[in-house]
Amino acid sequence: MVKLWRCEICGDPYIGESAPENCPFCGAHQPHIKEAKDVVANFDVELTDKDRANVEKALQVEVSNSTFYFCAAEKTDDPEGKLLFKALGKIEKEHAGIWRKILKLDKTPEGNEQCSTKNRENLENSHMREERAIKFYGEAAADSDDKRVGEIFKALVEIETDHLHLSEVRLK
């Protein structure tokens, strides 16, 4: 029987017979996907100064990464790379949307990132970006004053680690 599912991290709904392995929008792992009737995805968070600074930085990271990935999807010289970077760009844009909602911004800021026409260079850049994001998000999760903000940072560590594995396999 088809059900309505919802991701606790991004709040987006999904229709299917079962919960997907990963959220098709933000990439959150299955434990964060539940029947919609059982999920309250709260983005109305009172941020401390420390959490606000980390959320603002996270928004910048995600805008930068999504812009880079969309550039790479257009310019890379490898057909599979185009698909990979397009998918990553969509997910990173969704992550930026999560932080935008928490910061109560009307729209997501624009980014301006450069990329290469060479797939390997884009994969190396991707790898560096994901390592940086994982490190920052892990620190921000451990340092968060707010349970919800910490939960999102922890989920993003898992998601960005998945992305890191995608580049690792292709760089071998």
Task: Specify the long-range contacts of residues 134-137, CB closer than 8 Å, at least 24 apart.
Answer: 134/160, 134/161, 134/164, 136/57, 136/58, 136/61, 137/58
| 55 lies in the same domain as 10 | no
**Domain encompassing residue 31:** 3-38
The predicted-structure confidence for 99-140, as pLDDT tens digits, reads as follows: 999 999 999 999 999 999 999 999 999 999 999 999 999 999
| 17 lies in the same domain as 59 | no
Q: Tokens 């698909």 sit at which residue? A: 83
Please give the pLDDT value at position 17.
Answer: 96
| 106 lies in the same domain as 78 | yes
The whole-angstrom separation of Cα 42 and Cα 149 is 10
Which residues of the chain fall below pLDDT 70?
none
**Tokens standing for residue 117:** 């026409």
- Residue 150, domain member (yes or no): yes
